[in-house]
């Protein structure tokens, strides 16, 4: 069952809906060139701007070796002797996170980051750590799920096993305390649920393998309500307007939720199989367990291939893509919040990320036993609209994070 139906006939559009790759590529390359000149006033945001632009290129399959080399040179310049990255004198969680993601996008071998000091980064994270399991942005900085997410992701990319390291043993308890009565997540007890904090909370728990510690039912309900009935895109809070960037913040949350459900179903099937095989003859007719909301499955078919609707998210994936393709593409390239706003680096990255996520759904899911499955793809409009699949935990193409994690561990 889809909780929101596809209300508009896509065949109503006279021409195919198309992602205008060439003008977006020109926009991204132009902004990347401009980083070393007219954006000097926004110096502290350069790691984030670089990440957004590089990730946009990667999703379009256009991250060329010459650009990777330039980015790797910048990262080396931003690395601090005391650990972490910053374009100022002291490390900041956001700069570290965006730089580590750039490294995951651009590094091909350990030679590309010989200068990087993992132990020094760990010491920085220890200094930013709070007793309740959360992290601060800098020594006297703020604490919230976004900052905590940045620190946990950075640690993983630096080769640290965050599922067993004691520095992260209480982090899931802090995140759990930020879930509101609505089901989404906020910055502190009593605050309003917001899609940005919600994504950071779910992604952190997914990486820590602790997603089951929160109220999944309330979270699912709140996330489904973020899809706008008329526009098709998402808002970030109750009673707020649609915005293209929430295609990522909400879309990635749905993708993580779908992965969680697929894993649950797989575990139930494995458990049922082992129980059945140990039972006496005549018990073969036992029913398969049902733990995936909104799904019923035929034991003879793969459980992720449900013909009643396309994709495996709890929302209408095609309608999010429709909002991005129809409303968020700037006429001179780049993507935006909504008409008549102008495109920028942030919305270009997060609209493309949302487009990719709703095309791939739960995407590639790897189980503990090593088996891997891939969800059915849902591509609205021209087949060339298909983007590289991204990992919703990191917001970079699938496999990049694990590759850097392994390279860091082997050094």
Residues that bind Zn ion (CB under 5 A): 243, 245, 337
Cβ proximity to Zn ion: between 156 and 246 the closer is 246
Cβ proximity to Zn ion: between 85 and 248 the closer is 248
> Least Å distance between CB 243 and Zn ion?
4
Residue whose beta carbon is closest to Zn ion: 245
Indicate the SS3 state at residue 45. helix
Indicate the SS3 state at residue 227. strand
Cβ within 8 Å of residue 36, ≥6 positions away = none
Cβ proximity to Zn ion: between 59 and 365 the closer is 59
C-alpha neighbours within 13 Å on the C-beta side of residue 20 = 18
Cβ proximity to Zn ion: between 84 and 233 the closer is 233
The catalytic residue positions are 194, 237, 240, 243, 245-246, 337, 344, 347
The answer to whether 226 and 220 are in contact (CB under 8 A) is no
> Least Å distance between CB 347 and Zn ion?
6
The answer to whether 52 and 368 are in contact (CB under 8 A) is no
List 185's β-bridge partners, or say none: 179, 194
User: CA–CA separation, 321 vs 244, rounded Å?
Assistant: 10
Cβ proximity to Zn ion: between 216 and 326 the closer is 326
Indicate the SS3 state at residue 213. helix
The first and second tokens of residue 225, run together, are 């309500």
Burial of 406 (0-12, 13-18, 19+ CB in 10 A): exposed
Cβ proximity to Zn ion: between 59 and 351 the closer is 351
Q: What is the DSSP string of 355-408?
A: HHHHHHTT-EEE-TTS-EEEPPP---SSGGG----EETTTTEETTHHHHHHHHH
Cβ proximity to Zn ion: between 39 and 240 the closer is 240
> Least Å distance between CB 244 and Zn ion?
6
User: CA–CA separation, 249 vs 134, rounded Å?
Assistant: 20
The answer to whether 259 and 362 are in contact (CB under 8 A) is yes
> Least Å distance between CB 337 and Zn ion?
4
User: CA–CA separation, 120 vs 84, rounded Å?
Assistant: 7
Locus of tokens 């997410």: 149
> Least Å distance between CB 325 and Zn ion?
17
> Least Å distance between CB 194 and Zn ion?
12
> Least Å distance between CB 91 and Zn ion?
27
Which string of b and e fits 73-86 if b means at least 16 CB within 10 Å?
ebbeebbbeebbbb
């Amino acid at each position: 069952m889809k909780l929101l139906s596809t209300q508009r006939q896509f065949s109503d559009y006279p021409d195919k809906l198309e992602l205008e790759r060439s003008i977006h590529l020109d926009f991204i390359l132009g902004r990347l060139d401009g980083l070393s000149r007219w954006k000097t006033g926004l110096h502290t945001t350069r790691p984030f701007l670089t990440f957004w632009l590089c990730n946009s290129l990667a999703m379009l399959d256009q991250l060329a070796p010459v650009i990777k080399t330039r980015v790797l040179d910048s990262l080396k310049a931003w690395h601090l002797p005391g650990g972490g990255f910053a374009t100022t004198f002291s490390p900041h969680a956001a700069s570290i996170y965006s730089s580590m993601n750039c490294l995951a996008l651009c590094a091909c071998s350990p030679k590309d980051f010989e200068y990087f000091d993992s132990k020094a980064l760990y010491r920085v994270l220890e200094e930013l750590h709070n007793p309740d399991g959360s992290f601060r942005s800098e020594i006297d900085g703020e604490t919230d799920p976004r900052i905590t997410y940045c620190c946990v992701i950075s640690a993983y990319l630096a080769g640290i096993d965050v599922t067993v390291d004691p520095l992260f043993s209480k982090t899931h308890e802090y995140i759990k305390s930020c879930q509101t009565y609505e089901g989404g997540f906020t910055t502190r007890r009593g605050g309003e649920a917001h899609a940005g904090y919600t994504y950071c909370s779910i992604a952190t728990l997914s990486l820590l393998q602790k997603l089951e510690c929160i109220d999944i039912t309330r979270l699912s309900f709140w996330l489904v309500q973020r899809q706008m009935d008329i526009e098709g895109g998402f808002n970030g809070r109750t009673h707020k307007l649609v915005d293209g960037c929430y295609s990522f913040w909400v879309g990635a949350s749905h993708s993580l939720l779908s992965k969680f459900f697929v894993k649950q179903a797989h575990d139930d099937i494995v458990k049922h199989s082992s129980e059945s095989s140990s039972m006496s003859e005549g018990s073969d007719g036992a029913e398969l367990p049902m733990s995936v909301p909104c799904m019923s499955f035929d034991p003879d078919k793969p459980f992720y291939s449900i013909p009643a609707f396309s994709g495996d998210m709890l929302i209408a994936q095609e309608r999010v893509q429709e909002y991005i393709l129809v409303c968020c593409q700037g006429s001179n390239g780049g993507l935006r919040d909504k008409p008549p706003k102008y495109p920028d680096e942030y919305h270009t990255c997060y609209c493309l990320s949302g487009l990719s996520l709703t095309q791939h759904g739960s995407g590639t899911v790897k189980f503990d036993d090593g088996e891997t499955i891939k969800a059915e793809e849902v591509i609205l409009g021209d087949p060339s609209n298909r983007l590289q699949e991204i990992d919703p935990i990191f917001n970079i193409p699938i496999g990049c994070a694990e590759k850097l994690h392994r390279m860091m561990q082997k050094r």
